[in-house]
Structure 1
């Protein structure tokens, strides 16, 4: 459990593909201006982490809601419900369809009205030009990105990949520290202008959240931007995806 700033904690977790490859996952705990808390995403953390969360939140009683911000991150939602049964369990439309047996709050996190309920604590953004919940279950490009207002820290699943590499590895692997999802080509809507809409959204996000100090990303890592501002990091990620975006324009206009 990483205490990254006043009012922001990030929990790194394990998520294994075929029980072998650990690609990791995350959950964040954020404090609201009124002293209460929110959980971003669901994760069945270890006992030491759960004890730490309980200690901060009066045995979980001060957690108002669990906001599940990625439609394809569903495995640990039942655990979150059992951990804080009094809290509102909020997800996307797909969460409701995937796990109808859970006690979902009727509000959907992708809806502006729901996001407004938590605007004292968080800013939200959904990428333009891509489907949030595509028919292809392997395409996890879309998500609801959250930024903690007090600390400026971004919590994002899949849409942005953060590569916080050791210095020795950085000498071998070139490229930006922040990258868009490798399945961006599959995630872009099959229509004219989708690539340009995505670029415009990304640039606007970079400008609006320029002062972001840290990006917490699933499934990769916690990226400390240090002397690089978020807008420059987004521009570098766009440059890394330029071929993908150009090919989409060539095919769809």
Structure 2
């Protein structure tokens, strides 16, 4: 398996790997390794690294003894959870309700990620956000819009899968209008809850996120791309992304009120 581990911020490392659609088109995958203020480490999402990347992880974490938890933030990222637990069995394993449902034999923590437990236990180092107006897991499981976003305050790094997308790729992805642009995941229209007020709730959540995380320095997005941010740039990027989905939000309001 190809992959790399790169330090992209203070006490923040990004792990890149392969993920192929249909076995051919490599869209990539990611996880993050973060050193907490107390010297311990957490993984954000699960990942099966190459031998060389695992050696780097083990060197940083004293063979995994300093790895205190694995936080699985995206409910649809389940392929690597079993490997991660086998590799680091002493790390507390956190997941969403879907993780627990899909992999019931793993020793998950009793409290699920969406319950607020992450802020309670890791709030000294991170801010967490869950999109509003959309379910964390849609009934249509082909819609992978929502996830739990994490801001590591010390490095100013936002770790996010799918909810916000940023591609920085060559052909054929370079033909897509969203390449090299921060956007909301294109499944937003299908993800919005079919009820009055959902579109406005999402819009207000996004605006608040931009304001509250205005000091962020970079976005570590799904599928192997990092977007460095200028001072106070994040709110502008969120505003521009909202502008591009205005027709989606308007259509939802027209249908549901």
TM-score by length of 1: 0.94
Q: Are residues 1:4 and 2:8 paired?
A: yes
Q: Which residue of 2 aligns with 1:88?
A: 92
- Offset at 1:170? 7.9
Shift of the 6–240 alpha-carbon distance from structure 1 to 2, 3 Å rule, reads same
Shift of the 220–181 alpha-carbon distance from structure 1 to 2, 3 Å rule, reads farther
Q: Which residue of 2 aligns with 1:124?
A: 128
Alignment check: 8 A CA contact 1:43 1:76 kept: yes
Distance 1:45 1:7 in 2: 19
Alignment check: 8 A CA contact 1:107 1:114 kept: no
Distance 1:114 1:107 in 2: 9
Distance 2:24 2:109 in 1: 34
Tell me, which stretches of 5 or more residues in structure 2 are unaligned? Answer: none
2:111 to 92, 107, 110: 107
Q: What whole-Å deviation, never above 9, does each CA across 1:133-171 have from its counterpart, x for those lacking one?
A: 1111101111100010111100001000013367xx989
Aligned CA-pair RMSD = 1.9
1:154 to 129, 152, 158: 158
Number of residues of Structure 1 aligned to a counterpart in Structure 2: 251
- Offset at 1:242? 1.1
TM-score by length of 2: 0.93
SS at match of 1:100: coil
Distance 2:25 2:175 in 1: 25
- Offset at 1:176? 7.2
Shift of the 239–78 alpha-carbon distance from structure 1 to 2, 3 Å rule, reads same
Distance 1:109 1:140 in 2: 17
Tell me, which stretches of 5 or more residues in structure 1 are unaligned? Answer: none
Alignment check: 8 A CA contact 1:5 1:151 kept: yes
Distance 1:175 1:29 in 2: 26
SS at match of 1:107: coil
Query: 1:227-246 maps to which residues of 2 (within 5 A)?
Result: 229-246=233-250
Of 75-84 and 169-178, more deviation after overlay is shown by: 169-178
Q: What whole-Å deviation, never above 9, does each CA across 1:193-223 have from its counterpart, x for those lacking one?
A: 1110000000000000001111011125111
1:39 to 31, 39, 43: 43
Runs of 4+ in 1 over 4 A off after TM superposition: 169-176
Shift of the 175–16 alpha-carbon distance from structure 1 to 2, 3 Å rule, reads closer
Q: Are residues 1:56 and 2:60 paired?
A: yes
- Offset at 1:192? 0.6
SS at match of 1:70: coil
Query: 1:159-170 maps to which residues of 2 (within 5 A)?
Result: 159-164=163-168
- Offset at 1:15? 1.1
Q: Which residue of 1 aligns with 2:213?
A: 209
Of 227-236 and 133-142, more deviation after overlay is shown by: 227-236
